[in-house]
Chain A
């Protein structure tokens, strides 16, 4: 995950999503998400090519047989 979030990035993302947002809100979002972004940047996620969201279900369902 990028370790840099800026109000400009938020404004661009909101425009792409066609959601109106004020410049002040872009600043607020930047501040709010920074701890999450920083934490994930400090813990890089390395995923195998074959990993998909449903890989979670595979791991979870193994426990039914436990």
Chain B
């Protein structure tokens, strides 16, 4: 076969399953590509080449024997360094967890292994997943594959840029305040933050137990669906998934011509730069050509919803980190330590009021959107800024800078909604721009259907950065 690294997850899984290419050949091709890109991107924190080749050889042997295999048999993947594998390192982008050996394997990785995937290694992330840019005081920044002077977005920084550079067919990220969707936007890949409670978080590093979600970054909506088909659904080890439906692939393939999307009348259209505004308009035009009905919606006060999200995130993250804040605060990077200290500002009553408001706020949101199937917004106000201009550390403007980058993200986490970011256009400087589709609770499959329909008539998701 020609360059196997250029194929999608769906295509490579089919090629391996039908023995057009072996898992070992694919793994070797990815390892060669990783070797070429890693010095530029700083996206892998650990490469497990020998183990990956051994897994790939075993996968090929299973196919040769005619064994029954999973949907992703022999496909090499890498994931954010916060998904535990029993007996293996999971350092979470931190100094504090340097050398931490996980006591159990995360449910998401158990399920992906059962589907037959091969593990390539662990990917760069913001320290403890608490940063939206891709900076890391201990590891150095991850670099954007489209322009290495630009940020990747975070906290799933390595996942975003590794998928963009075709170093892995997909990667798990996590999303507490935009950490899947922002790297998807800045790196030009597709990212799905599932409905809260749809995917088990068991044995993945927590940041904020009320907001954390587990999901994929991949090259297309269809590829995200392939990952969700394996990892979604109830897990006794994560009570938030109790009663969660399994993945329904039929819904992802439905026609979109009878769907309606809402266009917010405010907040998400404020302060957009010209490239993002143009891309937003172009995306709406494409969706209308597909038969999607668009209607204006007046959402409840999104700034208040976003503020409530910040209270919940800050209080929960600080609670989780309080033991280390008491005993080894100097081992945090300056920005993460400062953000954790911010969580000390909120009383128990204030935190619980913010948490108790989630139900009424979600009811208010659903009433505002009526019967629409999704709401569309830009993912951010601009394409990727530079690493230098966003290197605000713990300076006085850090929180404002973070709030500006994440402003279109946080309401989705607070309301527990699914959010899909798809590549939708380009800046004048050639940087990718993503658009965000926000679904109804457990409407993840509908977002995939919309994303797949959009990607069937556009080619933004097929473009890869030039080799460096």
B443 near A55: Cβ-Cβ < 8 Å? no
Q: How far is the CA of A65 from the CA of B444 in the complex (A)?
A: 14
Closest to A33 in B: B345
Within 8 A of A (CB), among B314-332: 314, 318, 322, 325-326, 329
Pick the contact of B362 from A10, A25, A45, A56 — CB < 8 Å? A56
For A58, list chain B residues within 8 Å (CB): 359
B196 contacts the other chain (CB 8 A): yes
Residue in chain B with minimal CB distance to A51: B356
Contact of A47 among B318, B357, B366, B440 (CB under 8 A): B357
- Chain B interface, >50% SS class: helix
> By the criterion CB–CB under 8 Å, are A14 and B344 in contact?
yes
Give the size category of A's interface with B: 35 or more
A56 touches B344 (CB 8 A): no
Q: Tell me if A55 and B338 are in contact (CB < 8 A).
A: no
B379 is an interface residue with CB less than 8 A from chain A: no
Q: Range of interface residues on chain B?
A: 35 or more
Shortest Cβ distance from A13 into chain B, in angstroms? 5
The reply to whether B325 and A19 contact each other, CB–CB distance below 8 Å, is yes
Known contacts A14-B341, A19-B344; A32/B355 CB under 8 A: no
B352, CB-defined interface residue at 8 Å:
yes
**Interface residues as binary, A54-66 with B (CB distance below 8 Å gives 1, 0 otherwise):** 1111111101101
Q: Knowing A32-B338, A53-B210, A60-B197, say if A47 contacts B396 (CB, 8 Å).
A: no
List B residues 292-311 near A (Cβ within 8 Å).
Answer: 301, 303-304, 306-308, 310-311
Measured between beta carbons, the chain A residues less than 8 angstroms from B354 are: 40, 45
Residue on A nearest B362 in the bound complex, by CB? A59
Is chain A's interface secondary structure helix, strand, loop, or mixed overall? helix
Judge whether B394 is part of the interface by a CB distance below 8 angstroms.
yes
Cβ A53 vs Cβ B304 within 8 A: no
**Given A28-B338, A45-B357, are A39 and B363 also a contact pair (CB < 8 Å)?**
no
**A28, A33, A51, A64: which contacts B359 (Cβ < 8 A)?**
A51
The digit string for A13-35, where 1 denotes a CB below 8 A from any CB of B, is 11001111100010011111101
B304's partner among A14, A40, A63 (CB-CB below 8 A) is: A40
Residue among B210, B318, B325, B339 with the highest chain A CB neighbour number at 10 A: B325
B404 to chain A, nearest CB (A): 11
CA A1 – CA B243 in complex, angstroms?
A: 34
Q: Determine how close the nearest CB of chain A comes to the CB of B316; give it in whole angstroms.
A: 11
Asked if A28 and B394 sit within 8 Å, CB to CB, the answer is: yes
Are B398 and A1 in contact (CB-based, < 8 A)?
Answer: no
Kindly identify which residue among B245, B307, B358 contacts A39, using a CB–CB cutoff of 8 Å. Answer: B307
Contact B363 A59 (CB under 8 A): yes
Given A39-B303, A45-B357, does the pair A20, B243 have CB atoms closer than 8 Å? Answer: no
22 A-B residue pairings within 8 Å (CB atoms): A1-B311, A10-B344, A20-B325, A21-B341, A21-B344, A29-B341, A32-B339, A32-B398, A33-B314, A33-B399, A37-B345, A40-B308, A40-B354, A43-B307, A53-B210, A53-B355, A53-B356, A53-B358, A57-B359, A59-B441, A63-B440, A64-B243
Chain A to chain B: the 10 pairs with minimum beta-carbon distance, closest first: A55-B359, A43-B304, A56-B358, A32-B399, A63-B441, A39-B307, A56-B359, A33-B345, A60-B441, A53-B355
